[in-house]
Amino acid sequence: MTREIGVGIIGMGFMGRQHALAYRRVREHFYGECGLMPRFVVAADEDESRARESGQQLECDFTTDWTSVVEDPRVEILSITTPNHMHREIALAAAEKEKPFWIEKPVGRNPGETEDIALAAEKAGLINTVGLIYRQVPLVRHIRRLVQSGDLGDIQQYRGTFLVDYAANPKGTLTWRFQRAFAGMGSLGDLMSHVADMAQFICGAINEVCAQAGTFVKKRPIQAGPASHFAISESEDLAVVENEDYVGSIIRFESGAMGTLEVSRVVVGPAWEMTFEVFGSSGSARWNVERMNEFELYLPLTTGDSGYTRVLVSPEHEPFAHFQPGHAVSMGFDDLKTCEAFRFLRSVEDGKQRDPSLLDMRAAAQVLAAMERSVENKTWERITEVRGNYEVTA
């Protein structure tokens, strides 16, 4: 039995449009597995022309007032895809109205705001999901199962990176991501949130870090009106970059494994290079999002071979079969957002919270907070409480 569910989207930039597309595609790819059919009720954006255009495209109402979306009785679930500085106020209002929501990482501008949002949703008993999109990659979930099953042996070492070039050009404009009032943290929130979450998703809780950070492009051209994070300006009217370009950290896991995590938004060369390598006593695996649909696996005690084997994604790696019938045909970013939308809707339907949740993001935020303290104090810092959900649910 299928029923419609009213959707409100707050923030109609790139990510808001991604959420809308994902909602539309759920029934196409997960037909028969979810009894909820999203129906767009209202699209909200501070930019009136963008709100109007979105409303026309989605065939729904539009507004520049996000509060009216939360208050609207037709809206049963929410997508929160605004810049970071608006997340806390919107999410707390949604929790007060007991409306489940799908929110983008790093949730708050800082770990304190993320904590507030996570605890408010928990207190209200709200189903939620967080845009930690790389958890949705079928091969990432497969590698996690290899770790959990013991196929790689006792995990000894982990390396995670997220190296991107969107801010490599010093003429890149000073968008909200570079300003503390709007973004909060820089690469620590934008990129390390993914990397810290992935490390804990694969290997369990991190309990100690020693980090360093730096800003390499000190000033950037002031933007004139809204601009993407890839916009370039020849203006000589510059303003200070207020948060960090780079963060690197040594880490220790609760299990005893050790490793390193590193992120940068100003590298020259890598474009979108989120990677991880996990090394165990019986084997190892390594993955790179730029080649999302394959990974390298080394199991010398099982195969007797020397060197890594290239493993291609196939229908046995769920949820790949919902998108392609045969192995090695690529999935993409839009497909991963569709997986997020499905898991959110399915959770709303059956009341069973699926990963990634606000508790997962809260656990990652505790790692980010410890890294921030470590940078300031120039010491190792411990994480005393981690409450992520490390159980993969279908």
Tell me what pLDDT residue 390 has: 42
pLDDT in tens, 59-88: 999 999 999 999 999 999 999 999 999 999
Q: What is the pTM of this model?
A: 0.95
Integer CA distances (angstroms), 239 to 215, 217, 226, 231, 235, in order:
14, 11, 16, 15, 11
Reported as a pLDDT band with limits 50, 70 and 90, residue 129 is very high
What is the per-residue burial (b if ≥16 Cβ within 10 Å, else e) of 194-230? Answer: bbbbbbbbbbbbbbbbbbebebebeebbebeeebebe
Q: Are strands 36-44 and 61-63 parallel, antiparallel or unpaired?
A: parallel
Find out whether 106 and 185 touch, Cβ atoms under 8 Å.
yes
Q: Output 327 or 301, whichever has higher pLDDT.
A: 327
> Residues 183-210: what's their mean pLDDT?
97
Tell me what pLDDT residue 224 has: 72
Domain annotation for the chain: domains and CATH numbers: 3-133 (3.40.50.720), 135-331+355-382 (3.30.360.10)
Tell me what pLDDT residue 387 has: 62
> Residues 90-100: what's their mean pLDDT?
98
Tell me what pLDDT residue 394 has: 54
pLDDT at 385 > cutoff 90: no
pLDDT in tens, 211-242: 999 999 999 999 776 667 778 888 899 999 99
